[in-house]
Amino acid sequence: MIALSSDHLIFQLTDGESVPCSAEMITIEIVGNSEGFIDAEMLRHAAASVFHYFKVELERETVTVGEFALALEKVMRNFGLTLYTDDDPPCVKQILEADLCHIARESDSSLELFFFPRLRDELRARLRQSPRLLRFRGLRSCVKQLAGAQRWSGRCDKIQEQIIEFLRECLTAEPEQKGCALVVE
- DSSP H helical segments within 8-111, as ranges? 23-33, 40-52, 65-78, 100-106
Q: Please state, in angstroms and rounded to a whole number, the distance separating the CA atoms of residues 84 and 103.
A: 34
| Residue 72: per-residue pLDDT | 81
126 near 92, Cβ under 8 Å?
no
Pairing mode of beta strands 18-22, 8-12: antiparallel
Strand ranges across the sheet with 181-184? 95-99, 133-137, 181-184
pLDDT tier for residue 151 given thresholds of 50, 70 and 90 = very high
Give the pLDDT confidence of 42-54 residue by residue, as tens digits: 777 888 888 888 8
Pick the closest to residue 179 from 37, 63, 21, 12 (CA basis).
37
- Better pLDDT: 25 or 71: 71
DSSP run (H or E) holding 16: none
Per-residue confidence at 81, pLDDT binned at 50, 70, 90? low
Higher pLDDT, 40 or 135: 135
| Single-letter amino acid code for the residue at 106 | E
Residue 164 neighbours by CB under 8 Å, 6+ apart: 139, 184
Query: pLDDT tens for residues 83-113?
Result: 554 444 444 457 889 999 999 988 765 567 7
Residue-level pLDDT at 24:
73
CA distance to 13, 41, 138, 149, per residue, from 123 (Å): 42, 32, 15, 25
Work out the average pLDDT over 49-65: 85
- Residue 124 has phi, psi (to 5 degrees) of -60, -45
Q: Which long-range contacts (CB under 8 A, 24 or more apart) does 14-19 make?
A: 14/65, 14/66, 18/62
Specify the range with the lowest mean pLDDT, choosing from 88-97, 116-125, 142-151. Answer: 88-97
Please tell me the total number of residues recorded for the chain in this structure.
185
Nearest by Cα to 157 from 147, 148, 167, 170 = 147
User: Residue 167: what pLDDT?
Assistant: 93
Q: Is the distance from CB of 146 to CB of 159 less than 8 angstroms?
A: yes
